[in-house]
Structure 1
Amino acid sequence: MVRNRSLEGKTVIVTGASMGIGRHMVRECARLGAHTIIIARSTDKLERLRSEILMQYDVAVDSFTLDMGDRNALRQTFETIKWQYPKIDVLINNAGFGVFTQFEEMRFEDIEHMFAVNVLGMMTATRMILPKMRQQGDGHVINVASMAGKVATPKSIVYSASKAAVLSFTNGLRSEVRKQGIRVTAVNLGPVKTNFFKTADPEGNYVKSVERWMLEPEAVAEKVIAVIGRKKREINLPFSMNAGAKLYQLFPGAVDTFAGRIINKK
């Protein structure tokens, strides 16, 4: 295989890096020669990933333990990163989680934490890094949103609302920084085979209903990393769910009526 040299010598930040899609994105960046800065809550998992990368690839990798919902700690960590690294080429805002339950039954603490991590954490990290990218005249921000941000469904309406905010923010940011040499991409995914659902769907009902459409995290990571440096507006996976989201935007009433049984399988 001919090595893609587009990331060699680049510095890439990945939040939510210790598991799932984030972990695979870090590995793909390292394979392509990037210096990765990996961020997650678990020090042990970060160190295991860091050790694996250093053993397999001739690249630098640095880790920072951080809860993206803690904005004071987030600011301190990203302030350190800004001063420690002369150039940041890519910020991948991947950290996020969901809780799938009826809105009236959801704890308000879970609602607050979801928005703190999924939305405010993403915005804060982006705001901390943008001045450096603007000064460089180059950079790429990739925000992992969700198909749920395009079509809200029962039991995941708060998660959907948080990801709709991510998507809306991403679209607006793209317009604001376009003339400054900064690219902005939204990643809208359907269900992925990761530990995400251990928190979101502990009983496993939703996973059973969508198992046929579930994406492999390795394949998703490859597609996301492949767009770095390109003016790619969105990545939408899988195709069938993206088609359904477009149909919903055109005929919301009809989709609510005829797809109700599928939508209510959580």
Structure 2
Amino acid sequence: MNSRIKGKTIVITGASGGIGEQMAIKVAESGGNLALIARRVHLLQALKEKLTTEYKCKVEVYPLNVTDYEQIPSVFHTILEDFGTIHALINNAGYGIFQEAHEVTFQDVKGMMDVNVLGLMACTGEVLPHMREQGFGHIMNIASQAGKFATPKSSAYSASKHAVLGYTNSVRMEAKRYGVKVTAVNPGPIATDFFSIADESGNYVKNVEKFMLDPAYVADTVVNGLFTNKREINLPRWMNMGSKIYQLFPSFVEKAGNNLFFKK
């Protein structure tokens, strides 16, 4: 439970499943109100019914593909009309495809950049002026450990998450002057349907299954971080330690871990 959330309005993109759905549940448990964004409206409606019945909070759903950039301003305008304010935005929409650089199609590369980076930027751009004006707010961008520590078969996905981290770090410094908090969330592999697209062969899941994070645990950690001054949330801690070692000794890590990295 996060008492700081009670009565506040939280927008979550990619809320129809995975950690997006779990974060919505955690926000509702803490007494927050929710604006849920995703493509799969039937799943959003089912989640809304569950949350309003069990927690008596206000929940509205907004069907949107975050690559429909022209639609994003009107959706956020409607959210502000419905709720009056936005206290936090969790940019969660995203996906990945694990293939070697010469195998991944340009269409898939563009798709990851459109959703993971440009969609996130577009949504952030809609809430920043409002948050700056009210002098309060929190933007949480779901990035990845892959954005800190690139490995084979994830070149395009890692590039998109590197971009998210660069954008997040810059916006954090800009927004701080106006009382707006910005946090990067860097999870390792999570046991969700993410891998039905990212890893069609199933090999990566088999190799890392015992290390996969529970989506409810990730969601709880993220939601507990809302309205705190955390610069980053890194999960699991041991994997983040690996990224720090990589930054210090990249050649050694790439050589020592070469065989392991190719088990995707």
| RMSD value, Cα | 1.0
Matches within 5 A, 1:92-103: 92-103=90-101
Q: Which amino acid aligns with 1:223?
A: T
Q: How many residues align?
A: 264
Partner of 2:38: 40
Among 64, 67, 71, the residue aligned to 1:66: 64
Percent identity, please: 46
What is aligned with 1:157? 155
Deviation of residue 87 (structure 1)? 1.2
Please point out which of 98, 104, 107 is paired with 1:106.
104
Q: Tell me whether 207-216 or 160-169 shows the greater mean CA deviation.
A: 207-216
TM-score (norm 2): 0.98
Contact 1:16 1:39 (C-alpha < 8 Å) held by counterparts? yes
On the 8 A contact 2:146/2:158 being kept in 1, the answer is yes
Shift in Å at residue 85 of structure 1? 2.9
Structure 2: give runs of 5+ residues left out of the alignment: none
**Residue pairs, 1:109-128, within 5 angstroms:** 109-128=107-126
AA aligned opposite 1:164? H
SS at match of 1:254: helix
Residue 127 of structure 1 deviates from its aligned partner by 0.5
Using the TM superposition, give the Cα deviation of residue 36 of structure 1 relative to its aligned residue in structure 2, in angstroms.
0.4
Runs of 4+ with >4 A deviation: none
Pick aligned residue for 2:186 from 185, 188, 194: 188
SS in 2 for 1:12: strand
Q: How does 1:1-266 map to 2 (within 5 A)?
A: 4-266=2-264
Q: Are 1:38 and 1:61, in contact at CA under 8 Å, matched by a contact in 2?
A: yes
* 1:71–1:124 CA contact under 8 A, matched in 2: yes
Superposition deviation, residue 203 in structure 1: 1.1
Q: How many Å apart are 1:84 and its aligned residue?
A: 3.5
Question: 2:146 touches 2:188 (CA, 8 Å); kept in 1?
Answer: yes
Q: How far apart are the structure 2 equivalents of 1:124 and 1:93?
A: 10
Q: Which amino acid aligns with 2:260?
A: I
Name the aligned partner's letter for residue 113 of structure 1.
Answer: G
Q: Distance in 2 between matches of 1:10 and 1:224?
A: 16
CA contact (8 A) 1:14 1:22 kept: yes
Question: What is the CA distance between 1:76 and its match in structure 2?
Answer: 2.5
The whole-number CA distance in structure 2 between the counterparts of 1:133 and 1:73 is 20
Q: What secondary structure sits across from 1:62 in the alignment?
A: strand
* Structure 1, unpaired ranges of 5+: none
Residue 223 of structure 1, CA deviation: 0.5
Give the match's secondary structure for 2:220.
helix
> Is the contact made by 2:2 and 2:223 (CA closer than 8 Å) also made in structure 1?
no
Say if 1:241 and 1:4 are closer, same or farther in 2 by CA, change over 3 A: closer
1:4 Cα deviation from its structure 2 partner: 4.2
The Cα shift of 1:91 comes to: 0.3
**CA deviation after TM superposition for structure 1 residue 185, in Å:** 0.4
Distance 1:5 1:263 in 2: 41
1:155 deviates by: 1.1
Answer yes or no: is the 8 Å Cα contact 1:82–1:132 preserved in 2. no
Answer yes or no: is the 8 Å Cα contact 1:82–1:129 preserved in 2: no
Distance 2:93 2:66 in 1: 7
3-state secondary structure, aligned to 1:210: helix
